[in-house]
Amino acid sequence: MEIYQAIVQSKSQKQKRLAILLDPDKLTVECLSDLVTKINQTPATHIFVGGSSFEGTHLDEMILLLKQKTSLPVLLFPGNPTQISAQADGVLFLQLLSGRNPEYLIEHQINAVPILEKNQLEIISTGYILIESGSETAVERVSQTKPLDRNNADYAAQTAKAGEFIGNKLIYLEAGSGAQKAVPLSMITTVAQRISVPLIVGGGIRSKKQIEDAYNAGADLVVIGTAFENDLNFFD
């Protein structure tokens, strides 16, 4: 089954999904083997690979190795078109809906087309919404955009709904990697009630309780990056 269809099916069956985010900037090919063994022992259902500013050359090699050692679907989470690897299973084709920078609304997407047309990646249109989280995050810095007000859940929901109307197949509420404060639970609920496509939530989630709370608030898929990076036993 296609990755997206499986996420939709999980949502309809109220099965929550969990993605571990790997930032290629912080990984070496050498350390990957042990890391994947560890990932295979966690409840993760997906692996996301990407970062705001990665410009290295070892992405293909890393993903090939990942694919050899795990059966979990590997989805690219690219900060720009240079972070697309044909070795992955799919790509979150992101539109930064919270920002007003045309580069991240359409230009990167256009530039990615010749690369995407050459390979078989499953392309999943994703409305990406950055929420203010206490201090400036890498997404904010790199994209030169402002996040949405964390106290205005209704505007976040309206933004998410616009994404759905445009045709986004997923909505990703993002506090930013390593965020001081995760997306407010009340905002997750407001957004989840307003949209019908699956809802991804990530950024600043540091405990298993926070993961559960995000699920209970309405997240269909939670993304964990920093907490697992800092402690490979996080899920034990």
Binding residues (CB under 6 A) for ligand 1GP: these are: 21, 174, 177-179, 202-205, 223-227
Q: Which two tokens stand for residue 66?
A: 């990942």
The distance of closest approach from Cβ of residue 205 to ligand 1GP in the complex, given in angstroms and rounded to an integer, is 6
- Phi, psi (5° rounding) for residue 218? 135, 0
Cβ-based nearer residue to ligand 1GP, 12 or 43: 43
Cβ-based nearer residue to ligand 1GP, 65 or 182: 182
Cβ-based nearer residue to ligand 1GP, 4 or 128: 128
Cβ-based nearer residue to ligand 1GP, 21 or 66: 21
The distance of closest approach from Cβ of residue 224 to ligand 1GP in the complex, given in angstroms and rounded to an integer, is 5
The distance of closest approach from Cβ of residue 114 to ligand 1GP in the complex, given in angstroms and rounded to an integer, is 26
Q: How far apart are CA 229 and CA 38, in angstroms?
A: 11
The distance of closest approach from Cβ of residue 214 to ligand 1GP in the complex, given in angstroms and rounded to an integer, is 11
Q: Which two tokens stand for residue 90?
A: 């799919």
Residue 126: which H helix or E strand, with range?
strand 122-130
The distance of closest approach from Cβ of residue 179 to ligand 1GP in the complex, given in angstroms and rounded to an integer, is 5
The distance of closest approach from Cβ of residue 50 to ligand 1GP in the complex, given in angstroms and rounded to an integer, is 8
Residue 21: which H helix or E strand, with range?
strand 17-22
CB 192 within 8 A of CB 199: yes
Collect all residues with Cβ–Cβ distance below 8 Å to 2 and sequence separation of at least 6. 122
Cβ-based nearer residue to ligand 1GP, 4 or 48: 48
The distance of closest approach from Cβ of residue 118 to ligand 1GP in the complex, given in angstroms and rounded to an integer, is 26
CB 220 within 8 A of CB 15: no
Count of CB atoms within 10 A of residue 166's CB?
11
Q: How far apart are CA 198 and CA 103, in angstroms?
A: 25
- SS3 for 91? strand
Cβ-based nearer residue to ligand 1GP, 68 or 234: 234
Residue nearest to ligand 1GP (CB): 202
Q: How far apart are CA 57 and CA 24, in angstroms?
A: 10
Which residue type occupies 156? A
Query: H helices within 50-107, ranges in order?
Result: 59-69, 102
Cβ-based nearer residue to ligand 1GP, 120 or 185: 185
